[in-house]
Structure 1
Amino acid sequence: MCGIFFSYSQKEHEAPSEKLLDDLRKRGPDSVGTRSRTASLERTTTQLESKEQTCNLNFVSTVLSLRGECIVGQPLEDSKSGSLLCWNGEAWRIGNEIVQGNDAEAVFSLLLNAAQSCNVNASDGLFSYDQSKQNIFKTIATITGPYAFVFYDAQSARVFYGRDALGRRSLLVKRYETYPFPTLNKDDSNVHNQILTLNSPAVEQLYQRLQSSLAIRTFKIPIPPSKQAAPARVAILFSGGLDCTLLAAIIHSILPKWEEIDLLNVAFENPRVVQAAAAANAPNPPNPPAANSVYVLCPDRTTGLSSHAELLKKLPERTWRFVSINVPYAETQAHRSNIISLIHPHNTEMDLSIACALYFAARGSGFITDTSTSLDIPYTTPARVLLSGLGADELFGGYTRHNTAFDRRGYKGLADELELDFNRLGKRNLGRDDRVISHWAKEVRYPYLDEDLVSWALSIPMWEKCGFGQVSNAEDTDSPMLEPGKKVLRLLAWRLGLRGAAAEKKRAIQFGARTAKMQAGKTKGTQNLS
């Protein structure tokens, strides 16, 4: 993962501000590099006239090295042509081949070949700009994984920039286009009397695809800088809910048993909740509260501890390190302006409350409890790769509004709501979350948003993803009584022995961690930040 900056100016080379450069370094602390180019471009002014313009290009790239045996600095530069690449992301596959070694170098090599493969027209010796552009587009289309990039093709004096179709890496520009996502299967002609059960093919298919997605996202992660003898390489953003607990159980079948996994669970001191509790107990003052009671009572702390206990019981051969991240209100306020800066251009109360939870969770500083002494020990996760369950709700119908849409308009309404949620995932969530999490030199990876898994999830019929409208028989052991939202995930969790997680209700992160509505009043999530 990296931080990238590119500027185009007809006046002078424009460098990033000190604040922006500091943010880029926090995303990529292992290396920082700068390159500049001056190019002469021909601009057509009329059908009969054109004039040459000089433009100044500036490239800055920082690196968080997570692929290959050594740190590969950026921007990558081709000494022959002068072409450059700033790469932020992970190329898991190119075509059908899994990328070995440093993926940025592999991508750069392909882009150079694409740009140079038709650089001279055999008949007139002129550069074939259009063919070169199409070759570059085709090359980019073969890349599987989350990425954003800026590629300068020096031979054609063209700059190409973009991000993956799902928008899993942040790339902010003043003007951008929306590219199509895969299409959703809306066919509801064969939904009657269909019941999703433990033996349904979709349950096994989901398991296989999640296994494949997690395997490629956790393959050969470098040992992070740490004083620990065997530091955790992977941490999970862990609310204890269905999505993240299922990821934990499946990753257990992939990683060596001796590798420890950190479960990052965040809870906030919310003054509004504290005041309400104090008012309710005013007539009968309780015993003096424990120092951590304000955090222990957070919904996500309760479910987190419950799911952690379930993992310990079902998969005891691994060290599942539960990291309690407690955030006092004063600390939330101290970081507020920085978080607002990171989420820009997002600017609603809901954006801030979600970002606060992710910001402090990604920092990973809290405490672990010594099981032998019951003492709390300060601990900060050394893991630089974080796994998130984002995408499961949008793909498999996990929000309350999906149930509402089905109640009002059946499968047609459900399909429309799912399509809306998925199509705005990149614009609404992913860029914002990437900027917030990467601030701590961490890379977030989304197993549910693997391209192959997404294509499969969008292609299968509605009834194979969720159980809305399905009537289960309480005596049928193959069809346990579970919530209809994300039922295929619930059945898989049930099959893996995680019955507590399988039955867990959906809860938004801002309510589970209690970052929403920290002040008394009628503030709405859609309200702009003051």
Structure 2
Amino acid sequence: MCGIALVLSGGCVVVAPSTAAADAAAGIHPGDEGKGVTVDELKEALRRRGPDSLGCERLRVHADGTILGIGGCNFGNGDGGDVGDRELCFIGATLQLRGAEPVPQPMVARSGSILVYNGEIYGGVHVADDQNDTQSFLLSLESCCSCDCHALVRDEACPCCGSVGKSVPEILSTIKGPWALIYWQRDSKTIWFGRDAFGRRSLLVHWPTPDDSRFILSSVSPPSFASNNTASTVKGVESGVDNDFSESTKMNYWEELPCGMYSIQLKGLEKNGMCLKEACIFKVRRHDWVDSSLDKLIRWKRKSIVPTVDDLTVHKNPVGDYHLSQNFKNPTEAENNTAYRVLIALRESVMLRTKANRLFQDDLDKLKDDELAPIAILFSGGLDSMILAALLDQCLDSKWTIDLLNVSFDGQLAPDRISALAGLKELQRISPIRRWRLVEIDTALNNLKGESEHVMSLIHPSNTYMDLNIGIALWLAAGGDGWVDGSICSMQDGSRYKYKSTSRVLLVGSGADEQCAGYGRHRTKYRLGGWVALDEDMRLDVQRIWKRNMGRDDRCISDHGKEARFPFLDENVIKTLLEIPLWEIAKLDEPVGKGDKKILREVASLLGLKEAALQPKRAIQFGSRIARESNRKNFGSNRAANQASAGSVEIHRRALH
């Protein structure tokens, strides 16, 4: 996990892809930067995400494309120089998780290109076990063609220079794994930026406004600029239409950057920009994904949606009737078993994200104590986290402890605490040789004042009570600061002791409910509109998960200098689930705890998790009981909160005090 940022200032105005340049620039002047976020504020916010190193690189580009200089944070004075000059400031804060040696960011190539990257690569670009993702990725990007026609006109093979090098969009389209990046391609004078197709890594954007004419990208908002009272009218920014830019909207200082690949070319004004009122106007270009297999995942099309009578009368994979140890008659029978196929895909996903030889070796060398854990799980004891725990046990050497991080706002009475204690016993039963450590993180909402303010800045631009409740629960759980009952975890001579998890990699179950019909509203959709309505609702959930969940969750978890990894959102897992008929994924005419997420219940049964296979779905805000406490505090009671649809009510900062 890293924190990345770019500040583009000087004699230019950057507008979003759907904007008419002249209209968007009206009222915006390059010198209007007095009310904007400072570089120092960005550094402080990013440092929490990347505590191992913090770097900065500045360069200045003249209107004719000439590079006037390159240097660290003290290079230049930020005034943009001559009219038409643009200054680019790249910031990178690094959490070192991969490779044999520390690799600080920003990375500057021999060519003068600059990369700040936040992500992991599990395919598409080769990364050796002892290499760092950013290093390997920069080498691939440096091999890309940089001809003007290649960058501006097309994403296929370059017709001008005959280069066999791929384009930047081609490279980005092949990456498997979560990512967000900002890349300055020096030869083409182009800024490339974006985030993966499912938005698993946060990237916020500030579009130029009359108050602040700069174009800014950042992994997270500094606290002073996460207010929901800073709305301005700006054309061409994304608003109510998911996955696209709308023409005009009221916006905050920061917006979630929609998933995708974008570029801004800082030369060839006669082709790509125009001069207006002594400013160069640049329109951001959005690029299509080049890889056809990725495009299929984004469109999220399932072949088999509506079952026939015969499909529903053939009962395949009944929950609880078999175990992983059962012998299939032949390999074909195993491959045809849908739950087994999902299990194999999930196990490979967990393996890719937790292989010890792909973790930063200096960190592993520090784990001398038998009870220290390199990997932790955000753990409710529910179906998704139990599956991840059982699979991690299979993928991680038995010498390591696994931390199970569980948060409660009602002590031992919260549903998630009760299920976590039951889940711990079941994990100890199926894997008695493993040391399982349940970390009980207890607090009361009334004790969280400064913390609530801080989390409010992390979830921004999300700003509802539901977002805040989820954000606080995730932030506390990721912090890993709680108590361990040695008597049930077989640790510390059975005593209860204070403990703070040092795990830097956290497995999270995000994406399971969206893909497997785990929400209550999925049952409602099915009841009212049948299989087609259910499929459409699930597709909408997956396609907007970047905006509703992933950016917010990434910012809250990574604030502790830890990295969230999402095995259910692995590209191959998504592909595998889409290949399975919808009626094998869920059967919502069956009771809660059986028909919802049917396929995952069968996976749990294969893993020997008989009790977990029957667990009902509970969202973290309800399972931890923070929603109940929030309703009482802010609305007087649960009933009043329900009448006010509290979850979707926007928060005004004064309400936090």
1:56-455 → structure 2 map (5 Å cutoff): 56-79=87-110, 81-94=111-124, 97=126, 99-100=128-129, 101-115=131-145, 135-174=167-206, 175=237, 176-177=257-258, 179=260, 181-185=298-302, 187-194=304-311, 195-198=315-318, 201-219=337-355, 220=357, 221-222=359-360, 223=363, 229-230=369-370, 231-268=372-409, 294-371=410-487, 374-455=494-575
Aligned amino acid, residue 90 of structure 1? E
Contact 1:28 1:64 in 2 (8 A): yes
CA distance in 2, matches of 1:470, 1:301: 27
Amino acid at match of 1:243: D
**Matched residue SS, 1:94:** coil
Does the 8 Å CA contact 1:225/1:382 hold for their aligned counterparts? no
Residue 314 of structure 1 and its aligned partner are, at CA, apart by 1.4
Query: Following the alignment from structure 1 to structure 2, what is the Cα–Cα distance between the partners of residues 188 and 119?
Result: 43
Q: Does the CA contact (< 8 Å) of 2:605 and 2:613 recur in 1?
A: yes
Q: What is the CA–CA distance in structure 2 between the aligned matches of 1:103 and 1:354, rounded to whole Å?
A: 30
**For residue 215 of structure 1, what is the amino acid of its counterpart?**
M
Aligned counterpart for 2:85 among listed residues 51, 54, 68? 54
Task: Please state if 1:490 is matched with 2:610.
Answer: no
- CA separation of 1:128/1:433 partners in 2, compared to 1, >3 Å: closer, same or farther? farther
Give 1:401 shift.
1.0
Post-superposition shift, 1:492? Answer: 1.4
Give distance in 2, aligned partners of 1:213 and 1:130: 38
Once the 2 structures are TM-superposed, how far is the Cα of residue 196 of structure 1 from its aligned partner? 3.7
Q: Which stretch has the larger CA shift, 186-195 or 373-382?
A: 186-195
Q: Distance in 2 between matches of 1:58 and 1:163?
A: 19
What amino acid is the match of 1:216? L
AA at the equivalent of 1:72 = V
Q: In the alignment, what sits opposite 1:457?
A: 577
Q: Is the 8 A contact 2:587 2:598 kept in 1?
A: yes
The structural deviation recorded for 1:253 is: 1.3
Corresponding residue SS for 1:53? coil
Preserved contact between residue 586 and residue 596 of structure 2 (Cα < 8 Å): yes
Contact 1:85 / 1:108 at 8 angstroms: preserved in 2? Answer: yes
> Does the 8 Å contact 1:87/1:104 carry over to 2?
yes
Evaluate the alpha carbon distance shift between residue 139 and residue 377 of structure 1 in structure 2; reply closer, same or farther with a 3 A threshold: same
Which residue does the alignment assign to 1:23? 45
* Deviation at residue 128 of structure 1 after TM alignment: 6.2
The code of the aligned residue for 1:387 comes to L
Query: Matched residues in 1 for 2:560 and 2:589: separation?
Result: 44
Query: 2:593·2:615 contact (CA, 8 Å) conserved in 1?
Result: no
Q: Helix, strand or coil for the counterpart of 1:159?
A: strand
> Partners of 2:352 and 2:119 in 1: how far apart?
14
Partner AA of 2:385 in structure 1: C
2:593·2:616 contact (CA, 8 Å) conserved in 1? Answer: no
State whether structure 2 residue 528 is matched by structure 1 residue 528. no
Distance 2:308 2:259 in 1: 32
Q: Offset at 1:186?
A: 5.7
Cross-structure match for 1:474:
none
Contact 1:118 1:132 (8 Å CA) reproduced: no
For structure 2, the 5+ residue unaligned runs are 12-30, 66-81, 152-157, 207-236, 238-256, 261-294, 323-335, 653-657
Unpaired stretches in structure 1, ≥5 consecutive residues: 44-50, 269-293, 472-480
Q: Give 1:187 deviation, angstroms.
A: 3.6
CA contact (8 A) 1:26 1:439 kept: yes
* Superimposed CA distance per residue, residues 309-335 of structure 1 (whole angstroms, 9 cap, x where no aligned partner): 110111101001100011133432230
CA contact 1:5–1:16 (8 Å) conserved in 2: no
DSSP 3-state at the match of 1:65:
coil
Query: What does the per-residue CA deviation read over 1:18-62, in whole Å, with 9 as the maximum and x for residues that have no partner?
Result: 44322211100111110011112459xxxxxxx993211000001
Shift of 1:467: 2.1
Distance 1:332 1:5 in 2: 29
Q: Structure 2: how far apart are the matches of 1:52 and 1:133?
A: 35
User: Secondary structure of 1:149's partner?
Assistant: strand
AA aligned to 1:207 is: L
Q: CA shift at 1:229, angstroms?
A: 1.9
Conservation of the 8 A alpha-carbon contact between 1:359 and 1:436: yes
| 2:8 is equivalent to residue 4 of structure 1 | no
CA contact (8 A) 1:118 1:127 kept: no
Aligned residue in 2 for 1:34: 56
Question: 2:118, 2:101 → 1: CA distance?
Answer: 17
Q: From the superposition, tell whether residues 420 and 196 of structure 1 become closer, same or farther in structure 2 (CA, over 3 Å).
A: farther
Shift of 1:463: 1.2
Deviation at 1:127, TM superposition (A): 12
Q: Is the 8 A contact 1:118 1:128 kept in 2?
A: no
Q: Which moved more, 1:193-202 or 1:205-214?
A: 193-202
Instruction: Answer yes or no: is the 8 Å Cα contact 1:236–1:386 preserved in 2.
Output: yes
Contact 2:439 2:499 in 1 (8 A): yes
CA–CA distance in 2 between the matches of 1:164 and 1:444?
Answer: 15
Deviates more, 1:15-24 or 1:374-383: 15-24
**Alignment CA distance shift 1:120-1:150 (3 Å):** closer
> How far apart are the structure 1 equivalents of 2:349 and 2:127?
12
**Contact residue 91 and residue 99 of structure 1 kept, 8 A:** no
Aligned counterpart in structure 2 of residue 510 of structure 1, from 604, 621, 637: 621
Distance 2:159 2:41 in 1: 40
CA distance, structure 2, for counterparts of residue 251 and residue 408 of structure 1 = 39
Quote how far apart the aligned CAs of 1:165 are. 0.4
Contact 1:491-1:502 at 8 Å conserved across structures: yes
Secondary structure of 2:121 counterpart: coil
TM (norm. structure 1) is 0.85
Q: Secondary structure, in 3 states, of the residue corresponding to 2:183?
A: strand
1 CA distance for matches of 2:124 and 2:176? 6
TM-score by length of structure 2 reads: 0.69
